[in-house]
Amino acid sequence: QLFGADTLIEKIKDDLSVPQAAWIISLCGEGGLGKTAIAYETVARYAAAAGFTRIGWVSAKTLQLLPDGALLRYGSAELHWNNLVKKLADQLGIHLGDNSSGWISDFQRGIRSLPPSERCLLIVDNLETVDDVDEVIQYLGSNTLANPHKILLTTRHALLGKVQYLVERHIKGLELESALRFIRSLGNDAIEEASDDELRPIIEVTEGNPLLIKLFVTRLLTSHLPLAFVLAELQAVNQHLGRNIIDYLYAESLSVLEQDCGKDAAHWILNAFCPLGAGESVSYEALRSYSGIEDEETFRKTLRVACDLSLIRTSKLNSRYSIHSLLWKFVCDH
C-alpha cells in the first residue's frame, strides 16, 4: 500500500492519457522516494484505461539498499541496450531478427509498423546514472518513438531542457501525515501507539523518504535499541550504514558533480550548506556567498548540475535551496 501518493498518481494518469501531451514522462528524484512503486501503481491502475494496448517494462537497476542497510551492487550488464530492447520487444510482441546487432533498428521498425490502433507504453525503470539516462534518450529518443506511444522513465536525474516532448514529475518525501501513517503501518504495537511527537524524529532524519523509513523501522524492530540510538546510527556518516545510505541515495551523483564542475567547486557548493542547520534552506545570494565561488558563471553551472543530479533541491520557484539532512551530515561532518 502506498501512502500520500494518490495525487501524483492521478497527475501521471493524465500525462499518460492525453494523447497529444508530452510522450516522455519522467519521474525524477533521489533513491528510495518511491519512483518505481508509483510507476508500477499508475500503470497497474490506469495504463489499460488510458488506451495502451501493449506494455513493456524493463529495469536498469544496479543498486539495492537491503533492509539491514547493506548495499548490493549488480554489474550493469542488464543495461546493455540490446538486452533491454530485446526484453521490451518480447513483452510488446515485436519481432526481432536473429542477428542481435540489428535488434535496435528492428525494434524501431517494428514499433513504427504497428497499426495505429496499437498504443505501446514502454517503462524504463531505475535509470540510476547519468550514462543510463543518456543511453535511453539515444536509443528510444524522438527518432524511434512518437505518438501514439509513450515512455515512462524513472530516474534520479532531471532531464527537463535536455530532452524534447518531456514532462517531468518530481517525487518528494512523504508529508508528515502520510509518513506517520506509513510508520505505524510498518511497526509493532509500541510504534502504533507512539505519539506523533515520538515518531517525528524518524521523519525529520529520513525527510519522509519511504525507503529510509522502512530501513529505520526494520532496524528499530530487529535491533531492540532505543530510538535515539537508531537515529544516531543512521546519521553516523563514517559508519557502514551512513555511508551506504549516501551511496544509495546519490548513486554516483557526487562523483559526477566533481567530474563536471571540478573537485573544488563541488566541495565548496555543498559545504556552503554547513553554516545552516540540517535540512534548512538558503537563498541564492547566501548560498553563493557561503560557497566562496567568486566567478558567478562557475557558481551557476555548479548549482545547475547539482540540482540536476538531485543533490541540491529547489523550492519556492527556485528562491530557496536545500540538501537532505543526511547529506548535510555527510558533507559537514567530513
Ligand X SMILES: Nc1ncnc2c1ncn2[C@@H]1O[C@H](COP(=O)(O)OP(=O)(O)O)[C@@H](O)[C@H]1O
The angle, 0 to 180 degrees and rounded to 10, between the axes of the packed helices 263-271 and 253-261 is: 120
Residue 245 CB, shortest distance to ligand X, in Å, is: 12
Residue 210 binds which entry of ligand X, Mg ion, none, with Cβ cut-offs from 5 to 8 Å by kind?
ligand X
Determine the Cα–Cα distance for residues 154 and 126; give it in Å rounded to an integer: 5
Supply the minimum distance, in Å, between the C-beta of residue 218 and Mg ion: 18
Q: What's the min distance (Å) between Cβ of 11 and Mg ion?
A: 18
Asked whether position 126 contacts Mg ion by CB under 5 A, the answer is yes
Return d(Cα 227, Cα 217) in angstroms, integer.
9
Long-range contacts of 197-206 (CB under 8 A, 24+ apart): 198/227, 200/176, 201/227, 201/228, 201/231, 202/227, 202/231, 203/174, 203/176, 203/179, 204/279, 204/325, 205/231, 205/234, 205/235, 205/325, 205/326, 206/173, 206/179, 206/234, 206/326
CA distance 26 to 28: 6
Measured CA to CA, the distance from residue 307 to residue 162 in angstroms comes to 14
What single DSSP character describes residue 241? Answer: H
Region 60-79 residues binding ligand X, contact defined as CB under 6 A: none
Among 56, 69, 210, 242, which residue interacts with ligand X (rule: CB under 6 A)?
210
Of the candidate residues 16, 31, 92, 152, the single one contacting ligand X (CB under 6 A): 31
Cα separation, 167 vs 14, in Å, equals 11
The smaller minimum CB distance to Mg ion, of residues 123 and 234, is found at 123
- Identify the residue among 37, 176, 274, 332 touching ligand X (CB under 6 A): 37
Q: Does 36 bind ligand X (CB under 6 A)?
A: yes
For residue 291, state whether it binds ligand X (rule: CB under 6 A): no
167 binds ligand X (CB under 6 A): no
Using the contact rule CB under 6 A, the part of the chain among 35-43, 187-195, 261-269, 286-294 near ligand X is: 35-43
Positive or negative, the Cα torsion across 4, 153, 123, 215?
negative
Place of cell 500525462: 15
Q: How far is the CB of 130 from Mg ion (least distance, A)?
A: 16
Nearer to Mg ion, 35 or 149 (CB): 35
Looking at 32, 69, 173, 242, which residue binds ligand X (CB under 6 A)?
32
CB of 168 to Mg ion, least distance (A): 16
Exactly one of 62, 154, 244, 322 binds ligand X (CB under 6 A); that residue is 154
Counts of helices then strands in the chain (DSSP H, E): 16, 10
Contact indicator for 111, 94 with CB cutoff of 8 Å: yes
Q: In terms of CB distance, is 16 or 33 closer to ligand X? A: 33
Give residues 15-44 in contact with Mg ion (rule: CB under 5 A): 35-36
Tell me if 180 contacts ligand X by CB under 6 A: no
Do residues 253 and 266 make contact, with C-beta atoms less than 8 angstroms apart? no
45 versus 320: smaller Cβ distance to Mg ion: 45
Q: Where on the chain is the footprint of ligand X (CB under 6 A)?
A: 2-5, 31-37, 154, 182, 210-211, 214
